[in-house]
Structure 1
Amino acid sequence: MDPHRVVVVGYDDAELLDIACVTTTLDAVRQIDPALRYDIALATPGGGPITCTSGLVLGGQAALERIRGPIGTLVVSGGLGHNAAADDERIVGHVRRLARESERVASLCTGASVLAAAGLLDGRRATTHWRFADDLARAYPQVAVDPRPIWVQDGNVYTAAGVTSALDLALSFIEADFGADLARWVSRAMVTYLHRPGNQAQMSMFTAAPAADHDMVRKVTDHIAGGLDGDLSTEALARLARVSPRHLTRLFRAHLRQTPGRYVRKARVTSAAQLLSTTDLPVARIAARCGFASAEALRQAFAKEYGIAPSQYRSVATTAG
């Protein structure tokens, strides 16, 4: 079988982990099955070395301007140098040219800026790292920026949130190219217990800092996290905070940009996802522990948040581990 050709576009101040997650994950295919492999090259302006954000220097393997198709997968890395790359007409022009000769086009993290500058995201849904999503949306209003998923596919164009989500995107490529079994073997080789679906949220609500500058809101969110199986109605939470339900809702909207009810539902679904991927508890037990009235109520909330059923989410976690 001819190798699937992958060209990774790098530039100064690119994120090394973006590049490594994709290249190392794809190269693992060759190590598991020598009959299958990706032909991977790092293309840089002029073919010279690039200095990554971390200060480490990578040697280019090919000059971007000399690359010719056909290409299986074109990947544009992200990094703090993305704005300079997006403003560089040579880089953008060659990415636009190579995209026409590629079966699949992808960006990692802020590399979405380069794809957007090349017009490749016009009219498409795309994601990027949550810290830079607003900047991308303002700079390119013709792009439907969604900061929530870890990666998004729109036609043959893929955008990922970057950093470790680049690994998840690479695993999805392997599954599409060589099947789910090989993708699971690579997942094990990479010591990642879960091949996350693209619609999983970039950031758990429990790792996102709450409004630490408002003691009352922090008290209520701490109470929610510690008692998901209790009465977490807006009225009950308002009694805890000693304010009216209306005032509590105003505070949540001001500091967390959502209502208390929405925050509670998301907290319960997030906790359920954690239990599904790390325990063998029955779905009904997980539902009860997370405060859902029934397994069916959990299924409905889970499908609304993640787009898949709890059993499907668990199946992915189990087979990938």
Structure 2
Amino acid sequence: MSHTIDLFIYPNCQLLDASGPWQVFASANTLLGRPHYELRLNAIAPGEIRTNGGMTLVATHALGGRSADTSPGDTLLVAGGHGVHDLDDEVIQTLARRAAATPRVGSICTGAFALARAGLLDGRCVTTHWRQAERLAREFPEVDVAADALYRESGGIYTSAGVTAGMDLALALVAQDHDHRLAGEVARELVMFLHRPGDQAQFSEGLRCQLASHGRLRRLIDRVLNDPLADWNSERLAEAIAVTPRHFQRLFRQQLQMTPIEFLTRLRLESARRLLAESDASLTQIAEHCRVGGAEQLRRQFQRRYGLAPSAYRARFGRAPSNVETRDAS
């Protein structure tokens, strides 16, 4: 049985908000060897739609169409982009009617504003692009905005952060429809870093620190990010920029609001998380490779940082049967 996915676009929408999720579902079809997902590009009316980058997409279906080939599908996704704020009330009402007749509804990036105007997000925990999260919360105080999440599901409504997070959401929907293994295969087919869980922050720890640091410390952060598993410690980091350990600790806290050891631990846990998803190495091997102590120490730190055990993470996002030690099963 096929699953129809309607993707709604409009003038000045974000191109990748449309093309990214679309390709995830198309690649799932390729890997399945059959057209499980029927993809339909919707607009206010069929025809050319100019995206924010100037590229034109051609919508084949009308959002409010009533003919047999434009009846509501199984999933409706709304792309984001600056044009979402220009949609008139009639379009929003049409969107609300279409959503009411569709079992699964979601938005990419600022597409959440359209769903909020349609009254679909009231009382739900949602997310959107980090730059627009404050505006969404201000304009729709009845909506609970999780500003730092990649994607969220609340009461059957799905929302995601900006641009590439829409692909993460699409992968999550593929996993829901089939399994996490297929989602992982799609991620590898598209050369995505990995299928990220929805509660992961919109910024990686490395990018967050790059944005917050400057001067000599920024250059050091870049150096550490280039080789995060080297034998770094506070003393070696201080030596690298020719300051005393005490001054280095103060400088680090001023710019990054954490200690150097906290920074290194977060980077190494990110590396461990990638290995859990992309390899079948044991916890002992991963802990040793990522310099986070033994398997039990990795389990405790991983649980504290990400809110789930390494075994649970691997079960959801791993690509192969796990040989994680049995003591991690808790």
TM-score of the superposed pair, with normalisation by structure 1: 0.80
Per-residue deviation, 1:273: 2.6
Alpha-carbon separation, structure 2, partners of 1:15 and 1:319:
35
SS of the residue 2:110 aligns to: helix
Q: How many residues are treated as equivalent by the alignment?
A: 309
Per-residue deviation, 1:40: 1.9
Q: Which residue in the other structure is 1:119 paired with?
A: 119
Per-residue deviation, 1:318: 3.1
SS of the residue 1:201 aligns to: coil
Q: Which residue in the other structure is 1:318 paired with?
A: 319
Q: Which residue in the other structure is 1:48 paired with?
A: 47
Encode CA deviations 1:128-157: one digit per residue, 9 max, x unaligned. Answer: 122322222222222222232321111211
Per-residue deviation, 1:257: 5.2
Alpha-carbon separation, structure 1, partners of 2:282 and 2:37:
40
Alpha-carbon separation, structure 1, partners of 2:158 and 2:19:
18
Q: What pairs with 1:51-70 in structure 2 (closer than 5 Å)?
A: 51-66=50-65, 69-70=71-72
Encode CA deviations 1:142-200: one digit per residue, 9 max, x unaligned. Answer: 22222323211112111112322222222222222233454344344434363222223
Contact map agreement 1:137 1:143 (CA 8 A) in 2? yes
- Give structure 2 stretches of 5+ with no counterpart: 322-330
Contact map agreement 1:44 1:63 (CA 8 A) in 2? yes
Encode CA deviations 1:218-259: one digit per residue, 9 max, x unaligned. Answer: 4885797668765559xx99x9453497x66862xxx43556
Q: Which residue in the other structure is 1:158 paired with?
A: 158
Q: Which residue in the other structure is 1:242 paired with?
A: 246
Per-residue deviation, 1:96: 1.4
Quote the RMSD (CA, aligned, Å): 3.4
Alpha-carbon separation, structure 2, partners of 1:219 and 1:264:
15
Contact map agreement 1:150 1:202 (CA 8 A) in 2? yes
Encode CA deviations 1:27-55: one digit per residue, 9 max, x unaligned. Answer: 23433445552222111113332100110
Contact map agreement 2:280 2:320 (CA 8 A) in 1? no
Alpha-carbon separation, structure 1, partners of 2:119 and 2:263:
36
Contact map agreement 2:181 2:319 (CA 8 A) in 1? no
Alpha-carbon separation, structure 1, partners of 2:41 and 2:190:
21
Change (3 A) 1:135 1:300: farther
Change (3 A) 1:177 1:248: same
Which among 81, 84, 90 is matched to residue 83 of structure 2? 81
SS of the residue 1:66 aligns to: coil
SS of the residue 2:205 aligns to: coil
Identity %: 36
Q: Which residue in the other structure is 1:167 paired with?
A: 167
Q: Which portions of structure 1, spanning 4 or more consecutive aligned residues, are displaced by more than 6 angstroms?
A: none
Per-residue deviation, 1:281: 5.4
Per-residue deviation, 1:17: 1.2
Q: Which residue in the other structure is 1:256 paired with?
A: 256
**1:318 aligned partner, one-letter code:** R
TM-score of the superposed pair, with normalisation by structure 2: 0.78
Per-residue deviation, 1:262: 5.2
Alpha-carbon separation, structure 2, partners of 1:272 and 1:37:
34
Contact map agreement 1:25 1:170 (CA 8 A) in 2? yes
Contact map agreement 1:152 1:158 (CA 8 A) in 2? yes
Contact map agreement 1:45 1:65 (CA 8 A) in 2? yes
Change (3 A) 1:244 1:193: closer
Q: What pairs with 1:94-113 in structure 2 (closer than 5 Å)?
A: 94-113=94-113
Q: Which residue in the other structure is 2:36 paired with?
A: 37
SS of the residue 1:27 aligns to: helix
- Give structure 1 stretches of 5+ with no counterpart: none
Change (3 A) 1:319 1:162: farther
